[in-house]
Structure 1
Amino acid sequence: MNEARQTQWDEETDLLVFGAGAGGMTAALVAHHEGIRVLVCEKTDAVGGITSTSGGTTWVPGTSLSASAGVPDSVDDARRFLASVVGERGGDEARAAFLESGPAAIDELQRISDVKFVAATAHPDYVAGPGAAFGGRALAPVAFDGRLLGDKFVRVRPPRKEFMGLGGMMVARTDLDALLAPFASKKNFSRTLAVVGRYMLDRLRYPRGTQLVMGNALAARLFYSLRKQKVEVRFDTPLVELVIEQGEVTGAVVEQKGVGRKRIRARRGVVLATGGIARHPVLRKQLFPAGAQPLSLSPDTHTGDGVGSALKINAQLNDGHDSPGLWMPCSILRSGNGPDAVWPHIILDRAKPGLIAVNRRGERFVNESDSYHDFVMGMLRDANGESVPAHLIVDAAFIRDYGLGLLMRERSRARIASFEKAGYLIKGKTLAELAAKLGVDAAGLERTVATYNRDAAQGEDPAFQRGSSPVNRFNGDAAQKPNPCIRPIGAGPYYAVTVWPADLACSAGLAGNADGQVLDNDGQVIPGLYACGNDLASIFRGTYPGPGTTLGPAIVFGWRVAKNAARAARDPAAPTRFDSDVPHRRATA
């Protein structure tokens, strides 16, 4: 903490934003539109953070986009839905603000910038309950042509290498089937030629493909909009500490590459959007379950700079209630001479019929078709730690029909063998042999498969009710009758991949009010300090209601932060230039 009466400033701005992810860039865009001078300081040499490596889906109920897509959604329905999911866990006022502001925030962002979304007609909420939606709430960013950024295209953080083909080609979900079976039809072949041909031309000039989709498209669209509006993004400039004077945050100290330390005054406040506590060396150990500590999907640079700096000035830490992290089960292809390949098991295999997940006892422990977060919560709930890691068990037909992890739909024995040799795919001629190689109880695995197969023959799962929810059925295989998520596991050989918990985002973070103003340990606003994105504690209190429930609040609270700073700037009669409409609200996000 840097507290002084007369700080000597090296430069000044109105709003100082740390972090160029979805939340930080949204706050910067909206504040600029409101007439506030903005400076964005990004720790790394590229924008995007975890946004750029995500699926990019953004959960915002009740938008005009849902009506345009033919699946009109209701904020009132979403309110009932969240009441059933979150229950009595608290944070009601912040969630109410999110629901009330979401439609306006999305409409305005699309109007004032090049950020564009389309509502998914079919993308169910992850939890069944009153007010749940099958479509309309999940907004997908429209694909973006990276060539529009010219030589600044390199400033967009690439997606995970596992999500790119041919060394640098992004593939839209709608193109995946064609590329996996290019010779299945003339249409598939034509589409494959178009996608791959475009990529080959890109590589003559760019380090990777410029057809951007998912979170990479969202990050690029936000960055492109900032550049068009001449909002400065200063790279390689991490936050060192906050400056506080007479109880108000008035600026920050940064470490600018090639320049050194600078003190920047922020007349209208500082916004923390640095990616959360994912890799903070102390808070990760303090808050995360032991089984979830080793693996993270966050960039290595997400070391909790924003949250850590705020805690030094008495900011309040919210532990995330049900869970400090939001999770995905991931398999790992170990590399002897480079970084490991980490594959998040999102929708392509877990929900499909003919796969089960077992623990060290050889027993199932969760509905395999539930959301990635709920799957891992099932792993972590095992008090004895015997479900971390877990193993996804399939037969040979499953790999042919659906693939497994990094191994896409595959008929080539040589390719399957190469994943076996690498130690990623484990094979057993019998269940007992597979169990021995995995280190799980053989008798337990044999009993589990026998019980599962007996019920699966009738399309049933009395143990975990797999296939009973809309999201289960949506991610299953509609051709499998009567249950799209259930079919017996056939005769050997059997295959398995091992999965570990990994955080994709944080639920724990700074406590804030409905305007994203950070609260101190007495529940009072710290004047001049805002947070959004993963630096702000999740409004869903450790639950995961639907697809995009990290990016949705990141964008909406970035919008609310900017609007609050603008209101304070326009109201010279306000008792303090940083106060919100209700400055001492105790409702936390």
Structure 2
Amino acid sequence: MTDERNWDVVTDLLVVGSGGGALCAGLVAHDRGMQALIVEKTAKIGGSTAMSGGVLWLPDNPVSRRAGVPDGREDARRYFAAVVGDEGPATSEARREAFLDTVEPMVEFLGEAGVPFRHCEGYSDYYDDRPGGKARGRSLETELFDTATLGPWESRLRITDDMPPIPAHTGDVASLSMAPRTLRSLRTVAGIAGRLVAAKARGKRLRGSGVALQGYMLAALARRDVPVWTDSPLEDLVTEGGRVIGAIVGHNDRKLRIRARRGVLLAAGGFAHNAEMRERYGRRPASTAWTSANPGDSGEVIETAMRHGAAVDMMDEAWWIPSSIPPGGKPMFAVYERSKPYAIMVDGQGERFCNEAASYMEVGRHMYERHAQGISAVPSWWITDSRNRKRYLWGTTPGGVTPKKWLESGYLKRADTIEELARLCGIEPSRLRATVDRFNKSAARGEDPEFHKGERAYDRYYGDPTVRPNPCVGPVEKPPFYAVALYPGDVGTSGGLLTDEHARVLTDAGAPIDGLYATGNGTASVMGRHYPGAGASIGASFAFGWIAAHHAADVADAASRTDAKSSIGAENLD
């Protein structure tokens, strides 16, 4: 047995990273009587989860059932089979069942720990038309969170400038994207304004989305004195006799040897910001300029595990989100925008090739699949008429507002005819004209016989309910016309370390590496190459963080766990 006097720090479970799965594992470890230490390489806590919508997709969860959503294990299994399918070991039956087994106890545990979940009503499964799909959805979010309650930790929570400091729930977004066109959207705006005024009057700083989720998680950890170190990157793993027994971590200008008696959990994200890894493993063309993953998502943790024998899978996959690159160079999602009528997306030949309102990951994959056929689709072109531009938000810019810099920079192209717009985009004018005419003929009746846009509940979730009979389809016919280039952006890679149903990292031979666990975007996802519903990546990250911590506790000797505690305490949180 290793001599613990040779280590700088001794703990039970060392968690690398601070995304949702990492913080969940820290809470579970504490609940199971283990000492946990969470180390985050950046100055901010929360990972890409804090930058997200903060939603977890969890089939057959107790919160949604209590809201009246009929669900069950068999429905969840049927849906997994219909959407995810068999993508190899990452999506094995054992891993799926482990994920589903975790949902109920994890949601109840987190609720008791002070994380107040609510059902995201109407945020449909992304393939609600397939067996087991739910039009009312299976996604959860938290109540709004007052970041002021974190005290000195508030400044360390990852809060980006991209997320306006408004007290809004996920369900408010679809309505806000329609402001001020509907009575519902006006009520939503008024409700948010009222919350904002009331919060300011009480000295509260209310947030929703990923900030709220990770805020509640961080607050729960702080109440339990679970230490979280920032600016503390993983340098290497330490092994003994084939078992991972600890790690070397940079902290306060030192390289500390940290003993992890029960294991090391890698939850440090993927390699979205690593250009060399994307070139080696990913789809092409690609650019780190298109990703919206957190800045720490740079792949070295995956490479470290690989040096120690870890197997990887699905390294060419990511959580794709079609994105534009406005002046300033920061990518901007196109999510609710793609469900609005009077618009289409075409490839470089001026042809439609998918249902534009489908899930962001599906559309991103279609872009790459089209491009791989030798037809330029990276970028693709978002084509709208004047009604779309006047009525609907583009990003956070209201309809009818067209910043001068968009036009001057060429980011937004405008023309009085479809043919002229095609020339500005480098598309053969007659091809785009033919595509628009073909689309318009059916769109006048609210139909899309080619790609069935607007036929799923998910398509319609972000549609315009004032446009009938199809809230997602309307002819592109009113000049002037506009075009924006869309790229296959992402919120993180979704391939990586191959793990089993216990979240243990596997070798190429399929054997677990003793003492090494992984979850999150640095792993080959149980969701495979698809996104079943809002929050599928976060839901899986939480679940396998939960699983890893429980497995580490289950295989540990109870006596040694209680007799020998780490010297790390709340005083070392800095």
Instruction: Deviation per CA, 1:303-352: give whole Å up to 9, x if none.
Output: 113211110111111125xx5112000011122xxxx23211112x1011
**1:364 counterpart residue number:** 352
Is the Cα–Cα contact under 8 Å of residues 138 and 548 in structure 1 kept in the other structure?
A: yes
Which shows bigger deviation, 261-270 or 86-95?
A: 86-95
Which shows bigger deviation, 496-505 or 222-231?
A: 496-505
How far is 1:174 from its partner? 5.2
Distance verdict in 2 for CA 1:530–1:193, change over 3 Å: closer
How far is 1:505 from its partner? 2.7
SS at 2:294's partner residue? coil
Distance verdict in 2 for CA 1:478–1:169, change over 3 Å: closer
How far is 1:522 from its partner? 1.1
The correspondence for 1:331, drawn from 324, 327, 333, is 324
How far is 1:275 from its partner? 0.9
**1:213 counterpart residue number:** 208
Matched ranges for 1:95-244 at <5 A: 95-111=96-112, 113-127=113-127, 128-159=129-160, 161-164=161-164, 168-169=165-166, 171-173=168-170, 180-181=179-180, 190-191=190-191, 193-195=193-195, 197=197, 210-244=205-239
The correspondence for 1:88, drawn from 66, 81, 86, is 86
| CA distance in 1 between partners of 2:182 and 2:473 (Å) | 29
Q: Does 1:384 align with 2:374?
A: yes
Matched ranges for 1:277-426 at <5 A: 277-294=271-288, 295-319=290-314, 324-335=317-328, 340-347=329-336, 349-382=337-370, 383-410=373-400, 412=401, 415-426=402-413
| CA distance in 1 between partners of 2:149 and 2:74 (Å) | 39
SS at 1:541's partner residue? coil
Identity percentage of aligned residues: 34
Q: Does 1:74 align with 2:72?
A: yes
Distance verdict in 2 for CA 1:511–1:5, change over 3 Å: farther
How far is 1:408 from its partner? 2.3
Matched ranges for 1:412-561 at <5 A: 412=401, 415-561=402-548
| CA distance in 1 between partners of 2:394 and 2:126 (Å) | 22
Distance verdict in 2 for CA 1:156–1:269, change over 3 Å: same
| CA distance in 2 between partners of 1:248 and 1:390 (Å) | 48
| CA distance in 1 between partners of 2:539 and 2:409 (Å) | 38
How far is 1:73 from its partner? 1.8
How far is 1:11 from its partner? 1.3
Distance verdict in 2 for CA 1:107–1:200, change over 3 Å: closer
How far is 1:178 from its partner? 6.6
| CA distance in 1 between partners of 2:117 and 2:188 (Å) | 26
Is the Cα–Cα contact under 8 Å of residues 333 and 423 in structure 1 kept in the other structure?
A: no
Instruction: Deviation per CA, 1:20-67: give whole Å up to 9, x if none.
Output: 110100001111111000110111111111001111110011111012
How far is 1:175 from its partner? 5.2
Q: TM-score, normalised by structure 2?
A: 0.90
One-letter code of the match for 1:515? H
Which shows bigger deviation, 62-71 or 82-91?
A: 82-91
How far is 1:479 from its partner? 2.4
Distance verdict in 2 for CA 1:500–1:107, change over 3 Å: same
| CA distance in 1 between partners of 2:318 and 2:376 (Å) | 20
How far is 1:170 from its partner? 6.0
SS at 2:556's partner residue? helix
| CA distance in 1 between partners of 2:477 and 2:23 (Å) | 50
Distance verdict in 2 for CA 1:173–1:107, change over 3 Å: closer
Distance verdict in 2 for CA 1:263–1:318, change over 3 Å: same
Is the Cα–Cα contact under 8 Å of residues 347 and 375 in structure 2 kept in the other structure?
A: no
Instruction: Deviation per CA, 1:438-458: give whole Å up to 9, x if none.
Output: 222211111111111011112
How far is 1:7 from its partner? 8.9
Q: Does 1:56 align with 2:54?
A: yes
The alignment of Structure 1 onto Structure 2 pairs a total of residues equal to 549
Distance verdict in 2 for CA 1:345–1:183, change over 3 Å: closer
**1:583 counterpart residue number:** none
SS at 2:114's partner residue? coil
**1:42 counterpart residue number:** 40
| CA distance in 2 between partners of 1:102 and 1:175 (Å) | 25
How far is 1:489 from its partner? 1.3
| CA distance in 2 between partners of 1:192 and 1:483 (Å) | 28
Aligned-CA RMSD value:
2.5
| CA distance in 2 between partners of 1:534 and 1:456 (Å) | 39
Is the Cα–Cα contact under 8 Å of residues 120 and 170 in structure 2 kept in the other structure?
A: no
Is the Cα–Cα contact under 8 Å of residues 455 and 461 in structure 1 kept in the other structure?
A: yes
How far is 1:196 from its partner? 5.1
Distance verdict in 2 for CA 1:433–1:405, change over 3 Å: farther
Is the Cα–Cα contact under 8 Å of residues 446 and 469 in structure 2 kept in the other structure?
A: yes
Is the Cα–Cα contact under 8 Å of residues 507 and 537 in structure 1 kept in the other structure?
A: yes
One-letter code of the match for 1:275? G
| CA distance in 2 between partners of 1:189 and 1:325 (Å) | 34
One-letter code of the match for 1:141? T
The correspondence for 2:28, drawn from 23, 27, 30, is 30
Instruction: Deviation per CA, 1:459-485: give whole Å up to 9, x if none.
Output: 221211212222122332222222221
Instruction: Deviation per CA, 1:387-407: give whole Å up to 9, x if none.
Output: 110111111111222233343
One-letter code of the match for 2:299? G
**2:569 counterpart residue number:** none
Instruction: Deviation per CA, 1:562-581: give whole Å up to 9, x if none.
Output: 110111124689xxxxxxxx
| CA distance in 1 between partners of 2:22 and 2:355 (Å) | 36
Gaps of 5+ in 2: 561-574
One-letter code of the match for 1:28? G
Is the Cα–Cα contact under 8 Å of residues 61 and 103 in structure 1 kept in the other structure?
A: no
**1:260 counterpart residue number:** 254
| CA distance in 1 between partners of 2:5 and 2:282 (Å) | 38
SS at 1:329's partner residue? strand
SS at 1:328's partner residue? strand
| CA distance in 2 between partners of 1:441 and 1:378 (Å) | 21
Which shows bigger deviation, 451-460 or 22-31?
A: 451-460
| CA distance in 2 between partners of 1:296 and 1:183 (Å) | 33
Is the Cα–Cα contact under 8 Å of residues 162 and 343 in structure 1 kept in the other structure?
A: no
How far is 1:182 from its partner? 11
| CA distance in 1 between partners of 2:27 and 2:323 (Å) | 34
Gaps of 5+ in 1: 574-589
| CA distance in 2 between partners of 1:54 and 1:408 (Å) | 22
One-letter code of the match for 2:119? A
| CA distance in 2 between partners of 1:448 and 1:407 (Å) | 28
The correspondence for 1:273, drawn from 267, 270, 295, is 267
One-letter code of the match for 1:533? G
Is the Cα–Cα contact under 8 Å of residues 167 and 192 in structure 2 kept in the other structure?
A: no
One-letter code of the match for 1:325? A
| CA distance in 2 between partners of 1:197 and 1:181 (Å) | 20
One-letter code of the match for 1:148? T
| CA distance in 2 between partners of 1:449 and 1:264 (Å) | 62
How far is 1:143 from its partner? 1.2
Is the Cα–Cα contact under 8 Å of residues 387 and 478 in structure 2 kept in the other structure?
A: no
Is the Cα–Cα contact under 8 Å of residues 324 and 506 in structure 1 kept in the other structure?
A: yes
How far is 1:152 from its partner? 1.6
Distance verdict in 2 for CA 1:267–1:293, change over 3 Å: same
How far is 1:299 from its partner? 1.8
SS at 2:381's partner residue? strand
How far is 1:8 from its partner? 2.7
Is the Cα–Cα contact under 8 Å of residues 182 and 188 in structure 1 kept in the other structure?
A: no
SS at 1:569's partner residue? coil
